Amino acid sequence: MEHVKTILIGSVESSKVVLDGMVVHDYPPEMVFGLDRKYSKNVSGYVDLSVIAEENDIPHMTFKNINDDKVVEEIRLIAPDYIFVVGISQLIKEEIISTAKKGVIGYHPTALPKYRGRAALPWLVLLGEKESKTSLFFIDEGMDSGDIVDQETYLIGEGDYAEDVYHASNEALGRMLRRVLKQMKNDAVEATPQDHEKTTYLLKRTPEDGRIDWSAPAEDVHRLIRATSRPYPGAFSHYRDHKVIIWRASVHPNARYIGIPGQIIRSDSMSIDVLCTDGILRIEDYEVDEDVRFVDGNKFK
């Protein structure tokens, strides 16, 4: 059987899942293209793929822009059958897509055609979804619109944080990848067109969308914290002149305290209780730019 050549392009944990899976299943890529660490500041969950490639004697190259002429030329010289593009936000131009003899396979952690677009995992938590699917699909000129190669279900717990959903989706990706690699080895990859009539789109989120509105119900504030927690930028508020990023919290009933939403009820070295319109939000893990003393009765802005 003729050897099927693949390459991998990526920059985050899901990219690592694919690279690890290709190694474990004895199907290493011809080359790994990873985002250079110098340009990773705003990439949530960044992973330096060159380290893993080096450990497994796989040729690798870093990039700032995947569509740079130098990168495109390197891919053209490899003449791959398949290209995996997993975990980069840069759009792949036709110059790269056309080099893959059998197709470019992308990854999205939702049940396509539902929830195409940006910031999928935070949106799934914000929307209260209990179940989703990972999707591998052929990249075309649209947004997450190509034919589906495979999908795998994963569950989202009621109290899950973004990192929990992140891990669950990556585990599903690993299970799905095993099947797809076997199909590729046997030249038996099949794809199913998406039903575009059922398409929904997730619009982009920015770090500013993590700003807490203390007049919202406590459960809504908690959901925002869960959705934007690590590896994402985090929900935040301001205390005096300091930005406070809240990574973990819990909701508790309130039958005693009367005050203004955002007001601190009590604080100690372990937690901060903050008044919401219908309960108490207990901040249990947070980050602030310098040492700050939280004073009972003072307010988050």
* Co-location of 172 and 89 in the same domain: yes
Residue 300 lies in a domain: no
* Co-location of 19 and 156 in the same domain: yes
Distance from C-alpha of 184 to C-alpha of 258, rounded to nearest angstrom: 63
What is the domain extent for residue 122? Answer: 6-202
Q: Please say whether the beta carbons of 261 and 273 come within 8 A.
A: no
Distance from C-alpha of 44 to C-alpha of 233, rounded to nearest angstrom: 7
Residue 32 lies in a domain: yes
CATH of the domain at 137: 3.40.50.170
Distance from C-alpha of 265 to C-alpha of 73, rounded to nearest angstrom: 61
Residues 214-266: tens digit of each pLDDT:
999 999 999 999 999 999 999 999 999 999 999 999 999 999 999 999 999 99
pLDDT in the model for residue 5: 95
Q: Which residues make beta-bridge pairs with 86?
A: 10
pLDDT in the model for residue 1: 52
Q: Please say whether the beta carbons of 36 and 64 come within 8 A.
A: yes
Domain final residue, candidates 168, 202, 236: 202
* Co-location of 267 and 195 in the same domain: no
Where the chain has pLDDT below 70, the residues are 1-2
pLDDT in the model for residue 291: 87
pLDDT in the model for residue 42: 85
Looking at the structure of the chain, the number of domains it has is 2
Domain final residue, candidates 202, 219, 253: 202
Q: What is the DSSP string of 82-106?
A: EEEEES--SPPPHHHHTT-SSEEEE
